[in-house]
Every structure is written in structure tokens, then in C-alpha cells.
Amino acid sequence: MSKNYAITFPGQGSQSVGMLAELAAAYPMVTETFEAGSDAIGLDLWALSQNGPKETLNETHNTQPALLCAGVAVHRVLMSQTAAVPSVMAGHSLGEYSALVAAGVLDLADATRLVVQRGRLMQEAVPAGTGAMAAILGLDDDKVREVCAEGAQGEVAEAVNFNSPGQVVVAGNAGAISRVAELAKAAGAKRALLLDVSVPSHCALMKPAAERLAEAMQSLSFNAPQIPVLHNVNVQAADDPASIQRLLVEQLFSPVRWVETVQAIAARGADVVIEAGPGKVLAGLIKRIDKSLTALPVLDPTTLETAVEAINA
């Protein structure tokens, strides 16, 4: 008897030079997955993820395919170790693409090409230095929305990632986000940290990129999901390819509703939530959102063994 479990996939920020090296040493399908993604775009993603340099790995159009392959690789290894199928999946921002590959909606090659384009379009939409993101810690969601409205002053400043209670990320024009950070501190935030990112994701500044992403999707084949995937935009699972495409387009300029996503996973009866990919960011957030859930990262042989035991218990 296996547990009712879910799989989640991380987004940008979880990458690191050397990621998944131990897992790859034990399971060749990790490097095989990276090779398939690399062949699709003509870039050795495994070499980049293992050797860096960090600055190159952190460029959005490189980070996205590397993390996509990382999430898919971990999922494949996990599925090779258990016959239990997850009841639902979800991904944080870019991680949604990993979930869709895992659910059979997109093949890995198409998804890799698509996220490279997504990264480039995002970067082109907002010239370097003109956009910003900041993490606001210790304010409730409505208060963060208030300081965004006050700090915007005709520019874009929006609450874009609802990561856990008291942790909200804001994005928009650099000047506006700087003002929001100061207003948040004045309003009682524990911290307001400007993030080291090159693109202000999930805000209105991404609408030009979203329009071009919609065009890029037209040439790709999308399938109905074999496992439900909860989407960032509406915290719902979509059944038909056209709806999935629309939700991915909207995702670029819409908030990531992660707190609600974890709550929806719990409402579907999951006991265990696996984070498939490098790092432990989502596992940490999940524990803060719902302490009744067992949240387990899978990123090396040891964490894999722990997760498989939890799933099969």
C-alpha cells in the first residue's frame, strides 16, 4: 500500500553549479535526460550545470532549460524506483514546464526549446537593469499589495509570488520596487530583500514576452495530461491542450499562487509531497504552508531513498 503523494518541481533560483552530480553518478538516466535536452538546443546543459561558470548558468535562457532537465531527470529516477503514481503534480513558475513534461503534455525536446525561447523573450521584454524583484518577509498578502500600489507611482509594482505565509515576492520597474521595499520596511516587514535576478517575472512587464511565447507554442504538439497538473495561474488542473497553452502564456504575467497550490494538493488527500529537482526551496515552503504534509526533496541517492520509503510506506 503506497501513500497518496504529489510531486512538485522548482523554478529559477534552485540551480547551482554541480547540481545532481551524486544522483547522476548513481543513475545514468540523469545525464541521459540532460543529453536529450542538450541535443534539442545545441548546448551542453550537463557541462554547464556541472562546471559553470555560475554567471552563465544564471542567465535566464540557460537556467530555464537546465532546471527543466534537472526536474525531469529527478522525476524519471524517482519513477524508476517506485511503481506508485503521484495523484497530482505542480511546478513553481518554470517548474510548471517540468511538471507538464512529467505528465506527458510536452516531450522533453519541445519543452527545452520552448523554455530557452521563454527565457530569451523574458530578457528581451525588459532590458537589463530596468526591472527588479524583491522578497518581502513578515507582511501579510494584503499589506504587500497595499505597499505595491503606493510605491508604483505610475510604474509597475506587483505582488507576484505568494510563496508562503509572510513571504511574498514583488516585481516591476526597478525604481518602483526600490520604493516598495522601503515602504514595506516602514510598514513593519522583517526584511525587504532585492533579489539577484535579471528579469522581473510574473508582472505586467512580461506581457510583450507572453504574446511572443503564444506564437512560439503554435508549432508545438501539446497532449492531454496523464496526471493532473495544478497551474500557477488558477490553481486548477486543465484537461485540454488549448487551455494548457493559454495558462502557460498567462503565467508569464500572473502571480504564482504557491500557498494556494500547496493547500489544493493537501485538499486532494496527499500525505507526502516530493520536490523533484536540485535544492530544497519548495520542501521548505511546503512545510511552512501546511505542517501536516511530509515534504521531501529528492536531489541525491540519500534523499531519493528517503522519499521512496515514504511513498511506499
Active-site amino acid positions = 93, 202
Taking each continuous run of H as one helix and of E as one strand, the counts in the chain are: 14, 9
Copy the grid coordinates of residue 294: 511530509
Rounded CA-CA distance 229/251 in Å is 14
Upper half-sphere CA count for residue 192 (Cβ side, 13 Å):
21
Query: Whose CA is closest to 132, among 186, 92, 182?
Result: 182
Residues 6+ apart with CB under 8 A from 176: 151, 152, 153, 155, 156, 157
Contact by Cβ (8 Å): 70, 101? no
CA dist 299 and 22 (Å) reads 8
The order of strands in the sheet holding 294-298 is 229-230, 88-91, 5-9, 272-276, 294-298
C-alpha cell at 116: 530557452
Amino acid (1-letter code) at residue 61: H
What grid cell was written down for 205? 512587464
- The cell for 171 is 516585481
Local structure of residue 137 (DSSP, 8 states): E
